[in-house]
Every structure is written in C-alpha cells, then in structure tokens.
Homo-oligomer: A and B are copies of this chain.
C-alpha cells in the first residue's frame, strides 16, 4: 500500500473513532523533531516531505535547535528559518519550507503528538527531565538515538529512558543511515522497532517512508536498538583489521563474528529479541555501512597503524574535531556487563575490542580466537542463543 493510501485508511479509522466520541473533527498529528544535528536535520527533511503529502499530519514540522551563534553573528535558528537550510550541520540541503526551527525546547514540543528524539545520547536524560509535564498526554515518541546507559541490572536503552521518564510509548528507528547520503536522496532502508502497538509503528513508517527511503517495522524494540548501539564495537574491530591490512576475508570474518556476538548479547540481555531482526536494515545492513565507512572504523584503523602506540583519546582528539567515539565507550560498557556476569569468554570479539582499546592487548589480538564457537550452554536458559 502506498503511504498515501495507508494514510487515507488510517484517517478513515480515526474519523470514525472520533465520531463515536461525538466529535466530528479528524485527528491531525503534529510532529516535533527534538534535535537538529546532521541526522536530525535529514530526519526533519524526510518527515517534512511526507507531512505535506499526507492528510493525517499537520504540514508544519517543528525542529528543536540548540541555539548557536554563527560566525556571522546570526542565530542558527534564524538562518534555518530564513534559508530552509541547517547551514551548520547539513549545508546545501533544503529541509522544506514547513520545517520551523525553534530554540525553545519546551515550546517546541507543547503542541506535538509525535516526538522524534535525535540528540547525542548523553543529553537525553537532561532533556527528558525538562520535558516532564510539558508534553501532551497522548504523545507518541520515536528515538533515533544510538547508545545505552549501563546499570548493574543490565543495559538501560534510550527508548526505555524516554518511555519511563515521560510515560509515553516509544518506538525506535535504526538502519544503514549515513545522513549525508540520505540527504541527497540516495536509496536506503531503515527499521522501526516497536513493543506492542503495530498501528503506532505503521504511523512512524508512514512518516519516514519515501521512494528512496524504505522503512519496515519489526516487533522488537530492544533488538533494533541494541543493533544500533553494538555495531559501533564491531566497527572498531573492522577498523583494526583495516589498519593491520589483513584483507577482505578477515574483515568479513570479524564482521560476522561481531554480528553473532551482537545477536547473542542482545538475546542474553532481553529474551524477547528475535534472530530475524539481525537480517533487517538495523542489523546486517547498518553493520556493513558502519564497517565500510564511519568514524569508529577510521580511528581504529589509525590506532592499529600506530601499533597501538597512540591512544584512542589522542587519535579521537586529532581526527574527530571534538566528537567522541561511541564504539570505545560502548565496548567498555559491554565489557562491564560481561564481567559482572563472568561472560567474557563467550564474547571474545567484544572482550578483545575493549582490551585493545585500553592497551591491555595489542591490535593483532582482534583475530586471535582460541575457540570458534563459544559454549553458550553454560549460561542458563540460553540453548538457542547463537
């Protein structure tokens, strides 16, 4: 079904339900994008092209922008609203005239009933705290954020944080999504992960889908979200292989072992995680993209070329203009979770990546596996893990 036809169908349904409540107005969704970096801007562009076409959405897409003063002395929000371009984080791309940049977080969300979160993950806890009591009661949320918080009882996913702090339904959208490539409308795919409500997931699919951006939904929010998080650890491993000049065979093998560990780790953390999720865009495709390009791969390559003599911190500072490498911190967080449980041997790749990052092992340890298939039968109730 085309997005337009789907929209008509949903709209029909909503109108009927409204009539039952003796209201004859049709529900129109208002969308706010919380975040306006590279990916946030592209997400706003995708959404804005659809809200114009789909009758069940208000045309306007509000985008919360962390205000900055540009070198010209102008405010970033003013320039976005005048030019329809995020000149700082997505220069050269028109976002659509219906994208309205708003520097006031609370103001930007107050009328929205669909909230898309796309900020660096370390800011989310603070943003959620600010939004408590400031959003409408029936808001649906979607997280595009990769990363997790590690707690003793296991990983706390960003979608859970949003869901719990704001008391809202939160889906996730992940995939092989290099923002700049989607910005110029190159063909790509993405995966929406949802917990229970398939209709909400379909609404998100509809809001993002274009002929060049194919979105599908799977009922596995943790699986989709963990794919987006754990792939960065595998990208470090792939970068090490590149730096050691070990060739495509070895790189493919390391990526495969990484995918196996992503799957096993996710299933150990959340028994609801499905194998099939790893065949979706959020799984194998995002892993491929991240291990072919991407900054985790790149810095790890430089690290291996230096023979492990230069630290990740040093290379990061030199190569990434202040951005942080998510793979290194995720590897540490995963290692913490594994060592709390004594599971390091079950995850030789994840374990090695962390130990290489902190200098305990040399880069070449990335391909030194004494055992092929870790014995997961030692973990209770995990017969079908890999």
Binding site for B on A (CB under 8 A): 176-178, 181-182, 186-189, 212, 214-216, 246-257, 259-260, 263, 275-276, 278-281, 284-286, 288-289, 292-293, 367, 369, 372-373
Are B285 and A252 interface neighbours, CB within 8 A? Answer: yes
Most buried by B among A186, A188, A212, A292: A186
Q: Are B187's CB and A367's CB within 8 A?
A: yes
Given contacts A187-B250, A284-B284, are A372 and B214 in contact (CB under 8 A)? Answer: yes
By Cβ-Cβ distance, the 5 closest A-B pairs, closest first, are A187-B367, A256-B285, A252-B288, A176-B252, A252-B285
Interface pairs (30), CB distance under 8 Å: A176-B249, A176-B253, A176-B256, A177-B249, A178-B247, A181-B246, A181-B250, A182-B249, A186-B249, A186-B250, A187-B246, A187-B253, A187-B254, A188-B249, A188-B250, A189-B372, A214-B253, A215-B372, A216-B373, A248-B293, A251-B292, A252-B289, A253-B281, A255-B284, A256-B280, A256-B284, A256-B288, A259-B279, A275-B276, A275-B279
Cα of A251 to Cα of B189 in the assembled complex, Å: 11
Whether A288 touches B247, Cβ cut-off 8 Å, given contacts A216-B373, A278-B279, is: no
Contact of B278 with A178 in the complex, beta carbons under 8 Å = no
A212's closest neighbor in chain B, by CB?
A: B367
Asked if B189 contacts A285 (CB within 8 A), the reply is no
CA distance A251 to B367 in the complex (A): 26
Distance to closest chain B CB from A289 (angstroms):
4
Assembled-state Cα–Cα distance A253/B289 (Å): 9
List B contacts of A279 (CB < 8 A).
256, 259-260, 263, 275, 278
In Å, the complex CA distance between A286 and B253 comes to 8
Residues of B within 8 A of A257 (CB): 189
Contact check, B216 vs A248: say whether CB atoms are below 8 A apart: no
Q: Report the minimal beta-carbon distance from A218 to chain B, rounded to whole angstroms.
A: 11
Contact A292 B178 (CB under 8 A): no
Kindly report which residue of chain B lies nearest to residue A246, judged by CB atoms: B186
Chain B residue nearest in CB terms to A190: B253
Q: Which residues of B contact A280 (CB under 8 A)?
A: 256
Determine the chain B residues whose CB is within 8 A of the CB of A187 once the complex forms.
246, 249-250, 253-254, 367
Besides A186-B246, A214-B369, 12 new A-B residue pairs in contact (Cβ under 8 A), listed by A number: A177-B249, A181-B248, A181-B249, A186-B249, A187-B249, A187-B367, A189-B253, A248-B292, A248-B293, A256-B284, A260-B279, A275-B279
Contacts A189-B256, A263-B279, A278-B279 given; indicate if A178 touches B284 (C-beta within 8 A).
Answer: no
Determine how close the nearest CB of chain B comes to the CB of A188; give it in whole angstroms: 5
CB distance from A67 to the nearest CB of B (A): 30
Report B-chain residues with C-beta under 8 Å of the C-beta of A246: 181, 186-187
Partner pick for A288 among B186, B263, B288, CB 8 A cutoff: B288
Give chain B residues whose Cβ lies under 8 Å from the Cβ of A216: 372-373
Residues from chain B with a CB closer than 8 A to the CB of A247 are 178, 181, 186
Distance in angstroms from A191 CB to nearest chain B CB is: 10
Q: Which residues of chain B are within 8 angstroms of A369 by Cβ–Cβ distance?
A: 214
Quote the shortest CB–CB distance from A374 to chain B (angstroms). Answer: 12
Asked if residues A253 and B285 are in contact (CB atoms below 8 Å), the reply is yes
